[in-house]
Amino acid sequence: MLHAETKRVKVALITGASGGIGASVSKTFSAKGYVIIAHYGSRTSKANEVARDIEASGGICYLVSSDLSTDTGVSDLIDRVKKILSENPTYHLSTLINNAAKLLSPSFAETEYSDFDSYIAVNTKAPFFLTQGLIENMSTGACIVNVSSASAHFSSPGDITYAISKAALESLTRNLAELLAPRGIRVNAVIPGFTDNGHPGFDKKPVLEYMSTFSVLGGVSEPETVADAIFFLASDKSKRTTGTFLDVSGGSILGARAGRKHSVKELL
């Protein structure tokens, strides 16, 4: 018989954890003592690198692969997370970070039905149903952080479907914040701008110069900066914060930019 209360272990589920912001978030939360459930799509080698880095630092990382563009993929991820939690009674799902996203959508004229459905599925529908499916495994003090985008805050006709999907994610954030507040669960979002995720485009001077025009502070962000903002929203320092949006875009949402093109895709 146990004579003392068993200490609960905080678990963070991060979607899209195989690179860029997701990888940095996984490592940041692991360094703070969280057990990590790192979701990824098809980038197995990158996901393995994240897990190795976490384990080399003494952390615990579970890798789960699923396709969040499909209903089955979302359901599979929910089932896998529940299985991990049930097999480890001390584990407590403390934080859900909806980071996985499909980027650089086609132009308005080029977008087909399947494109639209795919972007909405990954960027909006998956966070909706992951939250719905896992909320019973979260309790008072838990939180959800959604990763939005500065493109939801200004016109982006060259990336229109992506921008729409992120605007919808912000609406989901606001509505869930009110819905889950009686349960003591907070829901917030971060708003990154262009963030160096290792894409070869970030090595091209014209691309970087163009991206820099979106931020009043200039330059682009590092994934670690966004990860720190996400951890802040998940921490007790934000225990009275819900339904809000933390801009880490360098002021991109102010809309002050020049030399505008329809999409960064034109420079890649």
**Residues involved in catalysis:** 162
State residue 228 phi and psi, 5-degree precision.
Answer: -65, -40
Q: What are the residues whose beta carbons fall under 8 Å from the beta carbon of 24, sequence distance 6 or more?
A: 223, 224, 226, 227
| Backbone CA torsion sign across 102, 106, 112, 113 | positive
**Per this entry, what is the length of the chain?**
268
List the alpha helices (DSSP H) in 36-125.
44-56, 71-87, 113-120
Q: Would you put residue 157 in left (φ > 0), alpha (ψ -120 to 50) or beta?
A: alpha
List the alpha helices (DSSP H) in 159-222.
160-180, 205-212
Q: Judge contact between 95 and 150, C-beta under 8 A.
A: no
DSSP-based three-state secondary structure for 14: strand
| Backbone CA torsion sign across 166, 263, 68, 63 | negative
Q: Residue 12 forms beta bridges with which residues?
A: 36, 95
